[in-house]
Structure 1
Amino acid sequence: MYIWATLLILLLLFSIAAKRFGSYSTLKEDPFSIRQTFSSYRVATMIITCVCILAVDFTIFPRRYAKTETYGTGWMDLGVGSFVIANSLVSRQARNISSRSALVAVEEKKKMGWCRWRKGKSCIPRSWKTAIQSASPLIILGFARLLSTTGVDYQLHVAEYGVHWNFFFTLAAISILTSIINIPTQYSGIFGSLILVGYQVCLMHGLNSYLLSNERGTDIISQNKEGFFSIFGYWGMYLVGVQLGNFLLFNYHSSATMGSNKWATIRVWILSLLLWLLTVIIDRHVERVSRRMCNLAYVTLVLAVNLQVLAIFLLSDFLPGSKTSVLEEAYNRNLLGTFLLANLLTGLVNLMVETLFASAVKALFILIAYTFSTTFIIGLLDYCGIRLKFW
């Protein structure tokens, strides 16, 4: 992986240098190309995630890339964190929609009778109700996955999230917390960092031993301790990603969106290198990387990797040619739908095939058919104008 990444970066730098002395030297930059680059990065992250969640069930998938049990780093460990980062960078909070439309939302709620008014007092919106309503699709998906995996006796690793917890519940929790605690975008990074540091202090004072132990009580929190406590790590990661997205993509006073993409590329590379350095320091002197707990080292690792991938995409933006394809646009318009479809097809394959005993040729054929089916369905939905984002 490191060799291929290095070769790709060198190839891009060579191509950019050749372009400077070629016929494309007068090519004008598109002020919105950085947003297209962000879309390409999110689509690539989703495609890799969809392929890996099934590939890891076969023996041809290298075990060193599988999820780690307690501490350490693996390719599959990056999936859930990258999904959170990819969504936070272009979220409503990163676009600063919530703060700009707050007064409009209050007026609409007043007209519809959603707020209780008293003479001489301001409107107090029912934030809990609104937050749960906005996250209800994710909660429904979480329970659907729980019921389906329990009903068919699907193979699950309890130490990943807990007995009943899954990633959809984590996404729902992040959505609810972000909706209830409305943090201004310019302070979300600071608030997220404080959450991560506070959570790391708790881990170092005994919480990590509790989360890594195999003992579980009968209460719901103890049964799902990994999923419940890791919410703080993922929420802090999300808030940091919100501010990074606003700073790199939606800050209309920056050069990143008003003209040259060169400064945006430099910023992303600098942030990536600083986060890599911070990850090494935390991993060696504070606590090793642990996806299971979503500790501080894991958060900085996920941020560093995703910003590095984004930086490579930004380098490719300096090359002439088409920026996006029809297939890429189809994926981009149905990212969550793609993830749901991939999970469904992965479950069907595991129910129909003994993946651990499949030969290399059979596994490769199944993965090709699975990837083609996912792409074909998503492309067909986009062709028909169907968008699976109904919340």
Structure 2
Amino acid sequence: MDSPANTFNPNKRLKEEFVSNLTGTSMTELFLLITTLSMLLFLRSVYSSSKKETLSKKDDDVNAVVCKKNMGSHLASATLDVLCIVFPVILCLTILADWTYTNAVGMTLLVTFFILARRSGFSVSQEEGVRSLRTNISAYRVAMNFLTCICILAVDFKIFPRRYAKTETYGTGLMDIGVGSFIVANALVSRQARGIAKTNLRNAISSTCPLIVLGFARIFFTSSVDYQWNTNGSGYWGLYLVCVQLGNYLFFGKPGDAVLRTNDWARIRVWIICLLFWLLTILLDRHVERVSRRMCNLAYVTVVLAMNLQVFAVLTLADYVPGYKVAALIEYFDRNLLGSFLLANVLTGMVNLSMDTLSVSPFVALAILVGYAYILSIAAAVAHFYGIRLKFW
């Protein structure tokens, strides 16, 4: 006889089986998928800047003022970015997932073409580099947050590949990275990373024994214990410490002044560190211990860092394109990352309560995902227009 829980929700067992015994995907596919998604954002901003270059400086200033005061401009910009960025991302995560390698090659060729076509005689000044670094940091944080928002609903539909969902114990799915990415995106620009915290962490940042050593030590010794006695708290705390040190080294100047470095400084080091973390991940995963989100072992930490730095590294290529402008959707979400994430969870719950997500057709699932992303985007645009910013601290 079925238990009361199963009688109340007959699809509960099917949904549990749908997300069970998953082993993830390959490191190569994850690398190419993240590269493709990052380049989609890059290309949208490049295309947007190429249109704005046809305007005179005076006209550009007038349009900027109109955009700030006109709700219709906000909604139109959000709609256009959904079509140019969000919709292609959803396609890459669903019906085009089997063409990940082809997508990555095509996007790489397009980015290379745009850079070479518009690179001639362009140089970045010191002042522009500082603004560009701040813009790239915001774009990276928004990209990772929005990708997570899409995945938390997409995973409930059959159109979302099972190899991208969370794994049981060992393996790497795209959603496994989302847990650690939330910590990384916040730690890299935290008060501790900027060196302005009123705690002992500021002294640790400037000491000869950096936080990165302490962080990796906590991860190594914690992940050596069986995860069934391990709450993951120490492992993720270690990840936070590592990212605080990396953020201070890559993005900020002397401890206490919270001044951003130039983009040239950050770009070169981010690419180098990203490649080193990818090499370390492959070595650990093949010869030491497979990646495990539940254990938050060293291989998991290195792959999370590698993928997050990879997104930022791709966005730094914008320095090679004159007149690069950040997409409007990035500006809208940047003001309300927390609010957008909370709204995404509420909408996900509403969708799951209102329908059997396992029985809908691929077309309906795709329409629901696009509509869900569009609602998030419009909400962010409206909040940006009225100056609303949701924070709890």
How high is the TM-score relative to the length of structure 1? 0.68
Is the 1:252–1:258 Cα contact (8 Å) retained in structure 2? no
Is the 1:248–1:264 Cα contact (8 Å) retained in structure 2? yes
Q: 1:188 to 1:61 in 2, by over 3 A?
A: same
Question: Take 2:175 and 2:382, find their aligned partners in 1: how far apart are those partners?
Answer: 29
- CA shift at 1:185, angstroms? 2.4
Q: In the comparison of the two structures, how many residue pairs are matched?
A: 287
Aligned to 1:150: none
Is the 1:66–1:77 Cα contact (8 Å) retained in structure 2? yes
Aligned to 1:363: 365
Q: Does 1:191 align with 2:214?
A: yes
- Where does 1:198-347 land on structure 2 (aligned, <5 Å)? 198-200=221-223, 202-203=224-225, 207-208=226-227, 211=228, 229-251=231-253, 257-259=260-262, 261-347=263-349
- Where does 1:121-136 land on structure 2 (aligned, <5 Å)? none
Judge which range, 25-34 or 52-61, deviates more: 25-34
Residue 325 of structure 2: SS of its match in structure 1?
A: coil
- CA shift at 1:324, angstroms? 2.0
Deviations 1:48-100 (A, max 9, x none): 1111100110011111111111111111111111111111111111111114x
Q: 1:197 to 1:326 in 2, by over 3 A?
A: same
The one-letter code of the counterpart of 1:197 is F
Q: Does 1:16 align with 2:107?
A: no
The one-letter code of the counterpart of 1:34 is L
Question: Take 2:254 and 2:110, find their aligned partners in 1: how far apart are those partners?
Answer: 32
Match of 2:122 among 25, 28, 31: 25
Is the 2:196–2:202 Cα contact (8 Å) retained in structure 1? no
Is the 1:12–1:315 Cα contact (8 Å) retained in structure 2? no
Counting aligned pairs with the same residue, the percent is 52
Q: Does 1:351 align with 2:353?
A: yes
Q: 1:49 to 1:233 in 2, by over 3 A?
A: same
- CA shift at 1:333, angstroms? 1.1
Unaligned regions of 5+ residues in structure 1, if any? Answer: 103-178, 212-224
Question: Take 1:192 and 1:352, find their aligned partners in 2: how far apart are those partners?
Answer: 43
How high is the TM-score relative to the length of structure 2? 0.68
Deviations 1:149-184 (A, max 9, x none): xxxxxxxxxxxxxxxxxxxxxxxxxxxxxx9x7772
Is the 2:189–2:244 Cα contact (8 Å) retained in structure 1? yes
- CA shift at 1:197, angstroms? 1.7
Question: Take 1:36 and 1:316, find their aligned partners in 2: how far apart are those partners?
Answer: 10
Question: Take 1:373 and 1:56, find their aligned partners in 2: how far apart are those partners?
Answer: 18
Is the 1:189–1:239 Cα contact (8 Å) retained in structure 2? yes
Match of 1:85 among 184, 188, 199: 184
Aligned to 1:169: none
Is the 1:13–1:315 Cα contact (8 Å) retained in structure 2? no
- CA shift at 1:194, angstroms? 1.4
Aligned to 2:391: 389
Is the 1:317–1:323 Cα contact (8 Å) retained in structure 2? no
Residue 317 of structure 1: SS of its match in structure 2?
A: helix
Residue 375 of structure 1: SS of its match in structure 2?
A: helix
The one-letter code of the counterpart of 2:358 is L
Q: 1:79 to 1:327 in 2, by over 3 A?
A: same
Unaligned regions of 5+ residues in structure 2, if any? Answer: 1-28, 33-100
Deviations 1:209-251 (A, max 9, x none): xx2xxxxxxxxxxxxx6xx621111111111111111111112
Residue 320 of structure 2: SS of its match in structure 1?
A: coil
- Where does 1:101-112 land on structure 2 (aligned, <5 Å)? none
Match of 1:63 among 156, 162, 170: 162
Is the 1:81–1:302 Cα contact (8 Å) retained in structure 2? yes
Question: Take 1:258 and 1:276, find their aligned partners in 2: how far apart are those partners?
Answer: 24
- CA shift at 1:41, angstroms? 0.6
Question: Take 1:257 and 1:7, find their aligned partners in 2: how far apart are those partners?
Answer: 34
Question: Take 1:273 and 1:56, find their aligned partners in 2: how far apart are those partners?
Answer: 29
Residue 379 of structure 1: SS of its match in structure 2?
A: helix
Q: Does 1:54 align with 2:77?
A: no
Q: Does 1:95 align with 2:194?
A: yes
The one-letter code of the counterpart of 2:204 is P
- CA shift at 1:353, angstroms? 1.0
Question: Take 2:261 and 2:213, find their aligned partners in 1: how far apart are those partners?
Answer: 25
Q: 1:183 to 1:237 in 2, by over 3 A?
A: farther
Is the 1:9–1:312 Cα contact (8 Å) retained in structure 2? no
Deviations 1:21-70 (A, max 9, x none): 3xx52564432211110100111111111111001100111111111111
- CA shift at 1:262, angstroms? 2.9
Aligned to 2:26: none
Aligned to 1:138: none
Residue 380 of structure 2: SS of its match in structure 1?
A: helix
Question: Take 1:10 and 1:25, find their aligned partners in 2: how far apart are those partners?
Answer: 21
